[in-house]
Amino acid sequence: MTGLVMAALERHVVVAVRDGLHARPATQFVQLAKRFTATLEVERGGQRANARSAVKLMLLGIKERDEILLRAEGEDAAEALDQLAAFIATPEAGQEAPPRAGA
């Protein structure tokens, strides 16, 4: 069906990732975000960042216990929000290197 307009989905999430989104968890978050075709953004304190840019995410200064807004728009937006919110809500996220492909 063409001409179908999809509304952006939003979800407020409290960051449980220990030490916030520093380099390793930000990189893992981006790797997860890149699995989806939806347009994905993260907002903190009125500032937005593309969820596919680790540098831009780190510039938001997201710390443990911060409340952030995840925004997704597109065909797989709901699934993207579910998985990204679950990542953010996991204290252990980013503590270890992600498993390598084929491992």
Q: Which of 11, 18, 22, 48 is catalytic?
A: 22
Sign of the Cα pseudo-torsion (29, 50, 53, 62, in order): negative
Residue 19 belongs to what H/E stretch?
none
22 labelled catalytic? yes
**Phi, psi (5° rounding) for residue 93?**
-55, 130
Contact residues for 36 (Cβ-Cβ < 8 A; gap 6+): 72, 74, 76, 77, 79, 80, 83
Catalytic residues: 22
